[in-house]
Amino acid sequence: MTSPARKVSLFRNGRSQALRIPKEFELPGTEATIVKDGNRLIIEALPQKKTLNQLLASWEPLDVEFPEIDDPPPEPVDF
């Protein structure tokens, strides 16, 4: 789905050219890639990295029986 075009102002930020992205064009996350295609700039949000909790929550439970492990007490250590 393509949004209607909107006029924006370009400005300088140090030695770089910049523009303010209107709220309706906001991208998720904090990083993006940009590609120049003739007179067009194509900006794409980078996939957001999952937190460890999000990653673990996305995994399906394993349906595996784990063997019993003989866990002897640790050997004493002299200091």
20-56: per-residue pLDDT in tens?
Answer: 999 999 999 889 999 999 999 999 999 888 889 999 9
Looking at the predicted structure, is the pLDDT value of residue 78 above 80? yes
Q: How far apart are CA 21 and CA 63, in angstroms?
A: 48
Residue 4 clears pLDDT 90, i.e. is over it: no
What's the confidence (pLDDT) of residue 71? 87
CA contacts within 13 A on the Cβ side of 29: 11
Give 49 or 12, the one with higher predicted confidence.
12
For 41, phi then psi, to 5°, come to -115, 130
The model carries a pTM of: 0.55
Name the band, by pLDDT with cuts 50, 70 and 90, for residue 10.
very high
